[in-house]
Amino acid sequence: MPGLTLAQKPAAAAEFRGVYAQINLQPTEEMVARLGVAYGADKREAMREVQRSASSYNPLVLYALANALIEDYSERAIFWYHVGRLRAVYDALRCRDKTAQNGLLELRKRLSPQLASNQFYRRDRLVGIAQKAIEWDAANPRDYDQRWIALYGKVARESGGKDPGDLFVPESEWPAILKHVHDSHLESVQKFAAQSPPTQ
């Protein structure tokens, strides 16, 4: 797959120009780091902060939240993973630069094995959780910088970033993209939930 040969992480901030240089992922990286420690009061506080204001955090943080919750709150972890996945795919599909979808590969790599396996063994409840995630996504604003996904693409690394209109497809296309994301996500979860357990 040619896309896999591209950088899976954004370039250093100094390498971006114009509108791309204005996309600040430092707060995201700081919150991901807080959620990623093994244990501690700050991790617990970070988990509470994100859940209180989940609309304000991009999918990188929501994935980190899901990983942090999985040991003690598995269904809540799965829910936030699905919300993060929905928002990540929506952001990626609106981006004009299709190579920015490498950000989805980076997110997939960040998903903890425990969360992935936990979903398989909760297949009886998975469709319901996914439906709740879709409803939450539809009802809550995206108060984070939705341009984050662009930093994973080739254009952000090579463009002067002079035209903000180069980032996303026209807004008139967004409702149809969102409907496609919701419908296809639910369909894929339904297919996953219908799978038989592995034979021993």
What is the SS3 assignment for 108?
Answer: helix
Structural domain contains residue 61: yes
For residue 21, pLDDT beyond 90:
yes
Structural domain contains residue 200: no
pLDDT in tens, 187-196: 999 998 888 6
Number of structural domains the chain divides into? 1
C-alpha distance from residue 58 to each of 26, 47, 146 (Å): 12, 14, 7
Per mean pLDDT, which of 4-8, 15-19, 144-148 is the most reliable? 144-148
For residue 107, pLDDT beyond 70:
yes
pLDDT at 15: 81
Q: State the Cα torsion 180-140-128-82 to the nearest 10°.
A: 70
What is the SS3 assignment for 126?
Answer: helix
58: containing domain: 2-193
Taking residues 100-117, what's their average pLDDT?
Answer: 93
pLDDT at 159: 85
Q: What is the DSSP letter of 122?
A: T
For residue 2, pLDDT beyond 80:
no
Structural domain contains residue 198: no
Structural domain contains residue 114: yes
Structural domain contains residue 16: yes
Structural domain contains residue 47: yes
With bands split at pLDDT 50, 70 and 90, how would you rate the model's confidence at 120?
A: confident
With bands split at pLDDT 50, 70 and 90, how would you rate the model's confidence at 97?
A: very high
The answer for residues whose C-beta is within 8 angstroms of residue 150's C-beta and 6 or more apart is: 20, 23, 95, 97, 100, 156, 167
Helix (H) or strand (E) holding 116: helix 113-120
Taking residues 48-73, what's their average pLDDT?
Answer: 97
Burial (CB count <10 Å: 0-12, 13-18, 19+), residue 17: middle
Which DSSP string corresponds to 149-198?
GGGGSHHHHH-----GGGSB--GGGHHHHHHHHHHHHHHHHHHHHTSPPP
With bands split at pLDDT 50, 70 and 90, how would you rate the model's confidence at 164?
A: confident
Average pLDDT along the chain = 90
